[in-house]
Amino acid sequence: MKRSRPWRCLAPMLAALLFIPGAHGAGTAPLAEWQSSAGVLFDQLSRQSPPTWTTTLGLTSARLAEYAGASSDREWTGPLVDVRYRDRWFASTEEGLGVNLPSPPTMRTGAALTYDFGRPAARGPNHALPGIHAAPELKLFAEEAFTPALVRFDVRRAIGGYDGWVADLSLYAALPLSQSLVLFAGPSVTVADGNYLQRYFGVDAAAASAGSGPLYRPHAGLESAALGATLVWSIDDHWGLEGYGACDRLLGSAADSPVRGSLSHPGGGFALGYQF
């Protein structure tokens, strides 16, 4: 969970592909995608040379939306595991299983295998939601620091599950409040293709006959915008505590969907980790 010295990366995730799901990760709305990696690049810039191995173990817990577009919440609790070899590769319940590609000093680019939790099948008085299988995702990402701000872009493709493309554009800033306390905050927007939006927000013939109302096919474009904040307290050289929160709002055809829940959804949680 290193956001600033002396400890690294506590914030998205790999779930079933590594250990047990944590609170962050793809599909855990309303958290902004950048909150999965907040401070990693800033930490790299603060070091003259990275340590050979960095390992963080801990616990994370949050109350977040049950799935994208949900009006109900779910408790997400699990272990925090973050293992990094220099600035080359990482295996993390927060960021996934990935590799950093050669980049200029102020940039971080790479590829990772992450996870989308999907959606359980549900029935209500006015709608029926078919289940969406949980599935791994391939992610490509790039970020550049303009101290104290950072711009991040990522694109993800599910292997099964919603079977579509999703991309995020984020801008956030690192605001030191003291030597041991740092606040990260900023907005992000998410766009998605028609396959993703149809699975989460559309109504096909089968769903319509099950009680979801008229047919509805959303078009590719904006899915949501989010504002997130992550506060990191480096207690000492090994222990760190992180609190995070966010609120998102559905946009475009996702907001117009007859099966979506609340337009806006807040959520947040905490993580405690020990680095050695």
What confidence tens digit (pLDDT) does each residue in 104-163 have? 999 999 999 998 989 888 765 456 788 899 999 999 999 999 989 999 999 999 999 999
* pTM of the model as a whole: 0.87
Domains located in the chain, CATH noted? 2-275 (2.40.230)
Cα distance between residue 32 and residue 168, in whole Å: 9
Helix (H) or strand (E) holding 141: strand 135-146
* Mean pLDDT across 194-202: 93
* Mean pLDDT across 12-25: 41
The pLDDT assigned to 46 comes to 83
Q: How is residue 149 written in tokens?
A: 């701000």
The pLDDT assigned to 4 comes to 37
Cα distance between residue 189 and residue 249, in whole Å: 10
Please write the tens of the pLDDT for every residue from 156-187: 999 999 999 999 999 999 999 999 999 999 99
What burial class does residue 75 get, using C-beta atoms within 10 Å of its C-beta: 0-12 exposed, 13-18 middle, 19+ buried?
exposed
Cα distance between residue 272 and residue 252, in whole Å: 37
The pLDDT assigned to 15 comes to 36
Cα–Cα separations (whole angstroms), residue 145 to 32, 126, 239: 18, 47, 26
Nearest alpha carbon to residue 202 among 149, 236, 162 = 162
Within 8 A by CB and 6+ apart from 72, the residues are 65, 66, 261
Q: How confident is the model at residue 213 (pLDDT cuts 50, 70, 90)?
A: low
